[in-house]
Amino acid sequence: MDRTDRRLVAALRADGRASYAELARAVGLSASSVHERVTKLETAGVITGYRAVVDPVSVGIGVTAIVGIEPGENGQDDPIAAALDATPEVESCYQVAGDNAFVVVVRVADIEELSQVLGRLRAIPGVARTRTTVVLSTVFEGRPRPDRPPTDGGS
């Protein structure tokens, strides 16, 4: 993971369909060198996949909610995590410190579906209660952090 690798990762985070020729121009190497580096980054697990980013409204999941999952007194985390994993409306699932064992991001078509999903989340064994925060608007999301220039050690 030298500077070139970091620049390649940053470029692919910004445009996951960039061609090796484009990446080569961006980092000043040949396409075959870039190909070898990117392959290594993929096999090393640094790059875990590529995804199209989609307008949620267009694909029928225009309503987003952030839901805290509070477990009961002696609730185990693992079966709760498995139940959340089995709920397709749960897009992301974080195990967290604090009152909630988990915070999940739920995406659904409308408020009615949100209500149904929240009912299912509450019905998960070991879940004592849920705390739901409805998203009014997504200001921005999943933004790639720009590649930071190497720290200048000072003059």
Contact residues for DNA (CB under 7 A)?
A: 4, 19-22, 29-33, 35-37
Binding-site partner at residue 103 among a second copy, DNA, none, CB < 5 to 8 Å by type: a second copy
Per rule CB under 8 A, is residue 43 in the interface with a second copy?
no
107 binds, among a second copy, DNA, none (CB under 5 to 8 A by kind): a second copy
Does residue 7 interact with a second copy by CB under 8 A?
no
Which DSSP category does 72 fall into? -
Supply 43's token pair: 């096999």
Judged by beta carbon distances under 5 to 8 A according to partner kind, the member of DNA, a second copy, none in contact with residue 59 is a second copy
Interface with a second copy (CB under 8 A), residue from 30, 39, 92, 115: 92
The C-alpha atoms of residue 75 and residue 127 are separated, in whole angstroms, by 7
Report, in Å, the least distance between residue 142 CB and DNA: 23
Task: Identify which of 61, 58, 56, 75 has the alpha carbon closest to the alpha carbon of residue 117.
Answer: 61
What is the distance between the alpha carbons of residues 61 and 129, in angstroms, rounded to a whole number?
A: 24
| Site residues (CB under 8 A) for a second copy, limited to 115-154 | 133-146
Q: Is 103 in the site for a second copy (CB under 8 A)?
A: yes
Residues 84 and 68: beta-carbon distance below 8 Å: no
Report yes or no: 50 and 32 within 8 Å, Cβ to Cβ. Answer: no
Q: How far apart are CA 80 and CA 49, in angstroms?
A: 26
- The yes or no reply on residue 96 touching a second copy (CB under 8 A) is yes
CA distance 72 to 47: 37
**Site residues for a second copy per CB under 8 A:** 1, 6, 9, 12-17, 44-55, 58-59, 61, 64, 66, 81, 84-85, 88-98, 100, 102-103, 107, 133-146
